Structure 1
Amino acid sequence: MNGAWREAAGLRFVELETDDSGPDLPVVFTMHGRGADPTDLASLAPAVSPNGYRWILPQGLRPVRIGPGEIGWAWYELDERQAATVVESRDRLATFIDETLARLAMPRGRAALIGFSQGAVMALHVGLASDESFGAIIAMSGHLPAAEVLLPLLPKRQDRHVLIIHGTYDQVLPVERGRHVRDVLQQAGLNPEYHEFPMDHQITPESIEVVRQHLTRALPPGSSA
């Protein structure tokens, strides 16, 4: 799938081109992990559903050196600034999502948030901080830094459709991190769907199939017809 680079609300993003381009297609915001860029998850769209959704892939706000002369992007820092930069990126991403949905005249209930690693953190923070429920929140290989920001809100978020996926062999974020997210949400009265797979810090065909099933159930694909 080809994509066009654009910018809105101070964020660069890629909007994928699909055979469906009708105004009523549900929107899937897909956030990449640390050191990547939006194109890193572009292949997820045709694997999950080549048509029936409008795929928008925002770019992280913080440049990260990943090699000689190579720059990737992150959503937050890993040092003592972590909590503050999580909240900063959450707020800027939420503004971008709000403006995009307003431009498309699309309610939050017709939008999904999908993220991998740091992108999963963004999906959880934006989706759970929002007063209005998104159609789906899907967190792959993530965790929950700055949880103290969300904890007071969670008892009022029991209507959220949350999917958590984690690898039992994850060497970047051990599986205990994913289990912790599940446990925090359950203790607050949410009912997240949780899956573990025998994989590292990655996305596999098996995990993609679970994403596909959850997304199409929580937010059925539309049609341009």
Structure 2
Amino acid sequence: MLTDTIVTIPPAAKHSTTVVFFHGLGETGNYWASTLEKLCKPHTKIICPTANKIPFTLMKGFATSAWFDMASLDQTGENESVIRRAANLVHDLLDQELSKTRIPSNKVLLGGFSQGGSLALYAALTYHKPLAGILVLSCWLPLRKKFPEEATNNMDIPILQCHGTNDLVVDYEKHGKSSSDVLKNFVTNHKLITYQNLPHCTNKEELEAMKTFITKVLP
């Protein structure tokens, strides 16, 4: 199971689109659910899972809410099997939601922040159904040496990637920009927005960019 807890905000109007968004390490789905509620149209259902707490190697085994374990942010610290397993669980969550609501898959936006953004990005590019778009913040592309061969779908949908240059958690150049460079080799509709002096968080300008993107891909 991907998570035991899912924060859901039902649409205020007739349900026609859905946003599924994954939080960063140590967070919960509550913050992003309330944030996205201000950015989405009334017809959009918002789903923000909260990751279960697991012993996290990067934090010397301390239990924290995380989508998958990591030994480091470098590619050498990635565990292929746990990343693939997490992505498969995202695919299961999407399949269940689509089956339950009968909303077309191309009316679903997948996104996330930090590790959640990385999970969303990888899961979207390996999902068997077409999505509306991908919205990721302050993250990286997991297993990026495996791409483009790893990608099986959603290479032609809109992808918005946002990252601050003063990010001391997920380095902009080493992880954000390098992931963007890899993506641009095989996706057709990708945009990286760089925020000068922004640390590992969001700001007003980024939230406005998110709102514009969501409105565009989920009209």
Question: CA 1:62 to 1:149, structure 2 compared with 1: closer, same or farther past 3 Å?
Answer: farther
Cα separation, partners in 2 of 1:60 and 1:149, compared to 1, 3 Å = farther
Q: Deviations over 1:65-115 (max 9, x none)?
A: 8x9xx9641011121563322111111111011111110011210100120
* 1:204 Cα deviation from its structure 2 partner: 1.1
1:183 to partner: Cα distance? 0.8
Shift of 1:192: 0.5
**Relative contact order higher in (CA < 8 Å, ≥ 6 apart):** 1
Structure 2 unpaired stretches of 5+: 72-76
Structure 1, unmatched stretches of 5+, are 1-7, 221-225
2:74 paired residue number: none
* TM-score (norm. length: structure 2): 0.85
Match of 1:53 among 33, 44, 49: 44
- Compared CA separation, residues 146 and 110, structure 1 to 2 (3 A): same
Judging changes above 3 Å, is the alpha-carbon distance between structure 1 residues 71 and 143 closer, same or farther for their aligned structure 2 residues?
same
Question: Which residue is equivalent to 1:110?
Answer: 107
Aligned residue for 2:184, secondary structure, equals helix
Q: Indicate if the aligned counterparts of 1:27 and 1:55 stay in contact, CA closer than 8 A.
A: yes
Matches within 5 A, 1:2-41: 11-20=4-13, 22=14, 24-41=15-32
- Residue 133 of structure 2 is aligned to residue 136 of structure 1: yes
Task: Determine helix, strand or coil for the equivalent of 1:103.
Answer: helix
- Counterpart code for 2:5: R
The residue that corresponds to 1:200 in the other structure is 199
| Poorly superposed stretches of 4+, deviation over 3 Å | 8-11, 153-158
- 8 Å Cα contact 1:155-1:189 kept in structure 2: no
Aligned-pair RMSD on alpha carbons? 2.4
Alignment check: 8 A CA contact 2:55 2:63 kept: yes
Paired residues of 2:3 and 2:51 also in contact (CA < 8 A): no
Give the direction of change, closer, same or farther, for the CA distance of 1:149–1:90 in structure 2 (3 Å limit): farther
Residue of structure 2 equivalent to 1:170: 167
1:184 aligned partner: 182
Aligned partners of 1:128 and 1:150 also within 8 Å: no
C-alpha distance after superposition, 1:159-206 (max 9, x if no partner)? 121100000110101111111121111112433011011210001111
Count how many residue pairs are aligned between Structure 1 and Structure 2.
Answer: 208
User: CA separation of 1:187/1:205 partners in 2, compared to 1, >3 Å: closer, same or farther?
Assistant: same
User: Counterparts of 2:26 and 2:106 in 1: how far apart (Å)?
Assistant: 30
Give me the identity figure in percent.
Answer: 22
SS at match of 1:187: coil
Change (3 A) 1:34 1:10: closer
Asked whether the 8 Å contact 1:26–1:52 carries over to 2, the reply is yes
- TM-score, normalised to structure 1, is 0.83
Q: 1:72 to 1:41 in 2, by over 3 A?
A: farther
**Is 1:78 aligned with 2:78?**
no
Distance 1:188 1:179, change over 3 A: same
